[in-house]
Chain A
Amino acid sequence: MHLSSLIKQKPKELVHHVLRRHWITFLPRIGTFLILFSVPIILYLLFKSVTPGLLTGGFSYPTFVLFASSYYLSIYLFFFAEFITFYLDEWIITSDRIVDIEQLGLFSRSVSELDLYRIQDVTSDIDGVIPTFFNYGNVTIKTASTNAHIIFKNIHAPNKVRAALIQLAQDGRRRKNRSHQKNKNVLAESKNKVIEGTIE
């Protein structure tokens, strides 16, 4: 599937940014994976030195191999699922709106949209030594409505994104005002035509 069909892109709508979490925030998961990966190797070496006969029995040997194989396949699966949850959280900024796609788990996904002209407040924050060093943090977007806000979590260069969003929101408001004025003029024109027709 292409991005334009995912967000049902309108004819004149342009995609400005596709944002994802910074790769450094995935490192703890890689660390956990490596620890889990080394557990059976450590256990094997331990059993081999303590009870060498245990892993060579007619039943215990194939069972141990099948169990170890299942264990490794399980951790690959969980690691891949973690990557999917991490990587499929994305925020798409177009010329008209923000699309917030959150992958909450393997079977849970939420998609929300916010029109750019509705943006009232954009805040970026970089908190901590590592985020400052690698230049990543959160961007919070608020609207006049109290419950409608979107947070871009752990994205790269949040200050740059905030500046771009403010500019796009201003453009969006200008466009909205222009189309609103155009509609008003059309309505006034048709009203005048109706009045003229009634007098005649």
Chain B
Amino acid sequence: MIFLPLYLPLMLYALFLIVFSLFMAVNIYHISESASFTIPSFIMTSVIAFLTLTTLIITIVLLKDVNWTEMLPLIEFSSSNTFIQ
């Protein structure tokens, strides 16, 4: 039987968030670098910021009861079958 710590996907997610923040910073840097602080760019940046915050809040709310220290069996080998739990 293979056990997988539940915090592993959480760590991968944290890594993804770091990359996401870097790319977002590059996007905002481009807006400032090209003198494009206009109403359309402000609206678009606000919409993206709002969607990002909403998604992060929903993620936190949905996962607040999860016990991340738990070790879960990923694949159970048996004589008859192999399954993902």
User: Interface residues of A: mostly helix, strand, loop or mixed?
Assistant: helix
Is the CB of A35 closer than 8 A to any CB of chain B? Answer: no
Judge whether B63 and A59 touch: CB under 8 Å. no
A6 to B20 alpha-carbon distance, docked (Å): 28
Q: Which residue of B lies closest to A5 (CB)?
A: B35
Interface residues of A in 75-114 (CB under 8 A from B): 76-77, 79-81, 83-84, 87-88, 90, 101, 103, 106-107
Please count how many residues in chain B sit with their CB below 8 Å of the partner chain's CB atoms.
39
Judge whether A60 and B62 touch: CB under 8 Å. no
Contact of B30 among A60, A65, A106 (CB under 8 A): A106
Interface segment, one of A66-74, A141-149, A158-166, A184-192: A66-74
Is the CB of B77 closer than 8 A to any CB of chain A? Answer: no
Contact of A66 among B40, B51, B59, B85 (CB under 8 A): B59
Interface residues of A in 27-81 (CB under 8 A from B): 57-63, 65-66, 69-70, 72-74, 76-77, 79-81
- If A84-B30, A106-B23 touch, whether A66 touches B35 (CB-CB below 8 Å) is no
Judge whether B74 and A80 touch: CB under 8 Å. no
List 14 additional contacts besides A3-B35, A79-B48; criterion CB under 8 Å. Answer: A1-B33, A1-B34, A5-B35, A23-B40, A58-B85, A60-B84, A66-B12, A74-B20, A77-B23, A77-B24, A84-B30, A88-B34, A101-B34, A106-B27
